[in-house]
A and B are shown apart, each in its own frame.
Chain A
Amino acid sequence: EPEVTQTPSHQVTQMGQEVILRCVPISNHLYFYWYRQILGQKVEFLVSFYNNEISEKSEIFDDQFSVERPDGSNFTLKIRSTKLEDSAMYFCASNGPLNTGELFFGEGSRLTVL
């Protein structure tokens, strides 16, 4: 069964460092997302991406964050200068084709900022 894969599963970084989280969405999907879940809290929307552009972003997704689809399979989330409060699980998700709304999530990347 096709699945969304994410790497790394866990990353520990120092405050102020840049991190890149990687995702391979399901191959025929068209819409890609990043969500975040701080420990013990809700899953929160960060950004959606379609046709090499951001469709929508939340207020959490400030200038420290960026997304990219560098090739036909990978989808990345970059945090330029990490803060302690960026510590969370980051989930990639995808859906498609056009009128299928079911989002499939990856297993997540746990980011710990020290």
Chain B
Amino acid sequence: QKEVEQDPGPLSVPEGAIVSLNCTYSNSAFQYFMWYRQYSRKGPELLMYTYSSGNKEDGRFTAQVDKSSKYISLFIRDSQPSDSATYLCAMSPFSGGYNKLIFGAGTRLAVHP
């Protein structure tokens, strides 16, 4: 079983749709969960992070963590064509110090006008 699983997509939605992106993981020690956005041939751009369980909201983005199910989600409301990118989940057992992230494969999202 892979440590972090993420459906590679592609996911195609109309502008204005709510997008749901998900990852599952197997390592129960993970407690730091991050979402990155990556445009083609560019570096990962940090969108959101959550520590342990719960929800976090930032503008149109909401991150959810369910540690009991080892499942994390990123919701994008009112999606825009500029949201078209690959979304990477990443996680670690971080509790201070250096933070070695394990990445999912990334989900390619296309938002069409």
A interface vs B, CB < 8 Å?
A: 4, 6, 31, 33, 41-45, 48, 50, 55-56, 89, 91, 95, 98-99, 101-108, 110
Contacts and interface: CB of A to CB of B under 8 A. Distances in A.
Contact of A106 (B43, B46, B90): B43
A53 to B, nearest CB: 11
B106 A42 contact: yes
A105 B42 CA distance: 10
B41 to A, nearest CB: 7
Interface stretch (B59-67, B70-78, B92-100): B92-100
Contacts of B100: 33, 45, 48, 56
A98 B94 CA distance: 11
A55 B101 CA distance: 14
Contacts, number: 64
B103 A107 contact: no
Contacts of A103: 34, 46, 90, 99, 101
Contacts of A55: 97-98
Interface of B: 32, 34, 36, 41-46, 49, 51, 88, 90, 92, 94, 96-106
B104 A42 contact: yes
A68 to B, nearest CB: 17
Contacts of B102: 45
A6 B23 CA distance: 29
13 contacts: A43-B44, A43-B101, A55-B98, A56-B98, A91-B44, A95-B99, A98-B96, A101-B92, A102-B34, A103-B101, A105-B36, A108-B41, A108-B43
A104 B46 contact: yes
Contact of B105 (A31, A42, A91): A42
Contacts of A6: 43
Given A101-B92, A102-B46, A48 B98 contact: yes
A50 B44 CA distance: 22
Which 6 pairs across A and B sit closest by C-beta, in order of nearness?
A105-B43, A101-B99, A43-B103, A101-B94, A31-B98, A107-B43
Nearest to B96: A99
